[in-house]
Structure 1
């Protein structure tokens, strides 16, 4: 609690220093609002400060809603990052909006931005739910209930690590309408590969190495969010964790749009040697197959190592990776 108070006070001082057009308050613990922010660069600075240990996983998902009003008030508008596009259901009983994150995440918080032009009271009473049930949007547990959000403001609601693939916003009652400007879903960063140096044996086009650790699994635009080598003999990809860790598991996300079989036979290797670019280190697992767009977890039983490699033995092979995550325990040795 004391840490929360210090954090919120520090945030408040910084926000006042940057712009007197931004208002902050502590709502539902560790929450804030941004209002009347006219300078996009200031908003980005604040996002970096307040969320440096989180990533907005909502931008990788797909959204649907119970009904759609008119021709342009789509569910996906809540994920486009624009302040002038909105979602909008028709007037109905229990309107809802549902986000599919494509896989299960631990959720720190959910942010909701209300529309700025009118009707700000329509969000009052909305329930934020998180869980793994897709068919019944009302059966997943409630993270928070929205009492009110001023027009154009963004409020953040703490979900304290609730886990789920689906995030829904619904308003109970008859003759209700649900309108959303933006929805953010923030998950903690626990990935040892985050921000590390990565290399690969070759690069095809714009499929650069770093895109395998960019937090974006490539469900929408694989060419700008996945890595890929050229066709070659024994293609490989490697991440330098900078320190020696006990690696408990490695998570690999395969590309969604095509060619899922390219990952077949890939070896995950972990160790401290750079002999053969790290590809001679011990094997954690061999990937038999990963369906398109799926994230598969491989247990490494606390193997120790600084370098994590993926290599596909053989001729005329591609290695395409949309996301590589490495999880383990604290630093064993700094080198």
Structure 2
């Protein structure tokens, strides 16, 4: 089934127009430029108290999702909507013993190839009676839908009766972490489907869990998982503190900070940081960019950790 941008260069109109360079056609011209003054955006007139935008798709379609690129040069918090899971850290239950062509990373590599034997699918271990898959989005987002591409060479029936959960804290390092339910999917999954959350959910970690298996061979396997949602630049969230602890990760940026607060501020201002380690003795500030499942934890009274990868 082919999926593409149905609105591209189709007839469009708005309730009012501020000036000629802000006409409705700018909203469906295929350009993602965020600068209004370069003619990239639409703009209704000041005083329009009920503004709207329409596009005619010139056909009848089943619509799954709408991607919007907001103005970025001023005036609003910029909204981004794209596949948040692409090439992000991912891991599975009992995944350390499975062949390389079934690793978790295959489930977020961007390939929709449905053939497991070409190395494009993820596959939990046979005998795992409560299989799950987790992807770390490396940021906190409001999530609206999850698109899944099933295995197609065989065994697609294995993807059934699963739950999509969204966590703020890492569920693998924090077994008691609370979750928000995106969807409780019942029945057997098809070749691919856009699964819309029952309501928008907020978090960083997305877990696909199959709580009921039929037998030992009823593994969790699929070929791609895509997560769609938005993150605004003005969104605020806090980092919980874990004392006497350091997350030992290779993807860090080290600097000096006069206090814990200034270290956390460096992280939030960087736009690419999901936690920090801070040493109050040396004043070393480590910005954590991409924690991985294999990262270890060091117990050290001189360090303190801020983030959602540990309890």
TM-score, normalised via structure 1 length = 0.43
Q: If each structure's helix is expressed as a fraction of its own residues, which one has the higher value?
A: 1
Given the two structures, how large is their TM-score scaled by the length of structure 2?
0.46
